[in-house]
Chain A
């Protein structure tokens, strides 16, 4: 079969060979140093770009009172595609006056319409929104990928289905709240200020808005400044669904906009997802007020692999746990704890596995790892990786070519990490894993708990009793057993310690948006 000539010597042999007369060469045992798998380019995948048409507007305004309105001060900032560094759109910058307008619009909608509306009617709107999200999910996924750098595979197969699922799930609760809390009278809180991060822009918006609306609250949402665009497309869906004006208001901007929202006296509840530093500042601001608060902050989750674990599947869980969404996941399994006896085997499998990860154009359907969200985040990853090297850990990186434009980081892991390394303590929020060992189950959970955070953890073992023992000892809001990074609207999510407080999803998540008497 004729093929184009290639430079690499490995590719010099044609792809299709006739069966050789003597294939016994495979039965000659290779020396240990030659027992390597060769993940080369013998059968390369052609580019497979997602090509559905989407319209990104040159400018996005604020969404207040059911209308798109220009910011009062007339200021805008640019939002970039992190995979190309090209400007995508101008985003309105909301100041205190705009936040004031958004909150009073939300208050009006709460007093006049939404707060009084029967749950059954609220549910209808939420179902309608959920269906519209499903209908437009392909376009929304592309917007999410272009603005945030995450792979289309992820936004299409994970984020958007979960966004719709959250609206569907909470739509079902809207008229059944008294059954969720038997013997108690649930009442909405009022106006909720919701501040979300850049790692899952639409999904975090859904986590915040869907339960709040189902419970009869109205919202002012502030997306992260690097990923505002998909929230504005969600606003169009709210308009199309006929959601009454002012029930959801969206104010875009940076930290100052968030601060104005947090400090606003007429807000009844703040829900924040983001860094622990900002979370602490919000908690200080709200101390002494009667505003309710839930915080979902950072994490440094341990993925604990026992020697009786299904190792090949554990490796898949480790890979998904740390490289999913470029490691921009607060519950990422960023500390790998492996029982000493199987550590070399797990590391060998990890080395081979990261060689098959495809880094590059997030819009290519075959890309596994997309772009780092911003230059600032890339700098932080590089700084922490350098600290790991300086402190004597050994860095292993996949041998992949990175695009010349855009922000990228190859899938990486560290060997020889101890609990005293910064890379074992601080959240890197990138595709970088710190690997460590333990000897007994007791040491396993002690090391896993030895962190200021407590958002999630993973346990890998073939023994059910060991799973239950570990789950009882781990101080983390979510513990996954023989899997990782599984999300469902019925399951509450939230943290211990510096990972925050309050739960989102499930019954517990509903309770965070209700007064129960």
Chain B
């Protein structure tokens, strides 16, 4: 019997050495610098509308029903009244049981339905269960799958298991887009985030995503920056463009603009699209819409003027 380490493919045994390290102080300083950009007038309005178009409106609660999902879907299709000229959101994100309802409500609006799968949010289930979970979500009509990595395996050093599971899920997904949730709040260090990003991209993820929204801290600017830098290096190396989705904890229009500044100045114009950048959020949309209304009408309106998702 060979030891588990000896059984690793050569490429993975040496992976840790080849993944760049991250300096905590400097990456946090750099991330903070993006928040210093002053986004005013036309660029503010354009940025806010772009943010709406990148939103995955999310409800992931035990108490979700088709009724709640209907609210969410209508909100995603038409976030605000027509005179504000606001685009639709990119997707709604729900549990597999609600995919069918969501598909019905979004109809042919162009809004995608994303399903969380693979024993979301913990990922602590055997692989066959995760694959079955994914398969059913796909069969119900999901356009995108948001999977979770096995953080237990990752923190235990079993990167091969993490990678193999992602590959297996991607195989089940086929052409359906796969977002890989790293749950960075449980990985804790930036070095871990960077390594998990590399594994997720190499194993076949179309997007990498920070968080489930069930763990604190969820998305932060420095974590997102580390993941964007991993995406950039992967693009340099392979020519393949991977998407990025910070999720959880982004609550204000100001934060959303700071994230867009970070995307613009780290990845360039090509990533300023919902195809390659998404916000996972449940309460962000109305704050952004409030700012859009302020930019157009010149004054703030109360929350009652914006429909609840």
- Which A residues lie at the B interface, using CB under 8 A? 1-3, 10, 15-20, 23-24, 26-32, 34-35, 37-48, 153, 157, 308-314, 316-317, 348, 352, 356, 365-366, 462, 482-483
A34-B239 contact in complex given A2-B85, A313-B26, C-beta closer than 8 Å: yes
Contacting pair B39 A45 (CB below 8 A): yes
**Distance A29 CA – B235 CA, assembled complex (angstroms):** 9
Contacting pair B235 A35 (CB below 8 A): yes
Interfacial residues of chain B within 142-166, with CB under 8 A of chain A in the complex: none
Contacting pair B239 A19 (CB below 8 A): no
Kindly report which residue of chain A lies nearest to residue B267, judged by CB atoms.
A37
Contacting pair B91 A19 (CB below 8 A): yes
Main secondary structure, interface of A, reads loop
Residue of B27, B36, B50, B274 near A313 (CB, 8 A) is: B27
Interfacial residues of chain B within 1-44, with CB under 8 A of chain A in the complex: 20-23, 25-27, 29-30, 36-44
**Distance A37 CA – B49 CA, assembled complex (angstroms):** 23
Kindly report which residue of chain B lies nearest to residue A309, judged by CB atoms.
B21
A43-B50 contact in complex given A35-B239, A317-B26, C-beta closer than 8 Å: yes
**Distance A31 CA – B237 CA, assembled complex (angstroms):** 10
Among B26, B39, B260, B270, the most chain A Cβ lie within 10 Å of the Cβ of: B26
Residue of A10, A45, A317 near B269 (CB, 8 A) is: A10
Contacting pair A48 B38 (CB below 8 A): yes
A311-B20 contact in complex given A10-B269, A43-B260, C-beta closer than 8 Å: yes
Contacting pair A483 B53 (CB below 8 A): no
- Residues in A with CB closer than 8 Å to B140 are none
**Distance A24 CA – B175 CA, assembled complex (angstroms):** 8
**Distance A46 CA – B91 CA, assembled complex (angstroms):** 29
B187 within 8 Å of A (CB atoms): no
Contacting pair A312 B229 (CB below 8 A): yes
- Residues in A with CB closer than 8 Å to B110 are 18-19
**Distance A29 CA – B241 CA, assembled complex (angstroms):** 8
B47 within 8 Å of A (CB atoms): yes
**What is the size, in residues, of chain B's interface with A at 8 Å between Cβ atoms?**
55
B287 within 8 Å of A (CB atoms): no
B268 within 8 Å of A (CB atoms): yes
* A-B pairs, 4 with minimum CB distance: A30-B239, A313-B26, A48-B38, A42-B269
Contacting pair A15 B239 (CB below 8 A): no
Contacting pair B274 A19 (CB below 8 A): yes
**Distance A129 CA – B300 CA, assembled complex (angstroms):** 41
Measured CB to CB, the closest approach of chain B to A160, in angstroms, equals 15
Kindly report which residue of chain A lies nearest to residue B41, judged by CB atoms.
A46
- Residues in B with CB closer than 8 Å to A46 are 39-44
Measured CB to CB, the closest approach of chain A to B14, in angstroms, equals 14
**Distance A366 CA – B241 CA, assembled complex (angstroms):** 28
Contacting pair B274 A312 (CB below 8 A): no
A313-B87 contact in complex given A37-B232, A43-B269, A366-B37, C-beta closer than 8 Å: no
Contacting pair B269 A18 (CB below 8 A): no
**Distance A483 CA – B28 CA, assembled complex (angstroms):** 12
A365-B23 contact in complex given A19-B90, A34-B239, C-beta closer than 8 Å: no
Interface string of B232-248 (1 = CB under 8 A from A): 10011011111100000
**Distance A482 CA – B232 CA, assembled complex (angstroms):** 22
Contacting pair B49 A43 (CB below 8 A): no
Kindly report which residue of chain B lies nearest to residue A50, judged by CB atoms.
B38
- Residues in B with CB closer than 8 Å to A157 are 36
- Residues in A with CB closer than 8 Å to B37 are 45, 365-366
**Distance A308 CA – B18 CA, assembled complex (angstroms):** 9
**Distance A34 CA – B238 CA, assembled complex (angstroms):** 11
- Residues in B with CB closer than 8 Å to A32 are 239
Contacting pair A31 B87 (CB below 8 A): no
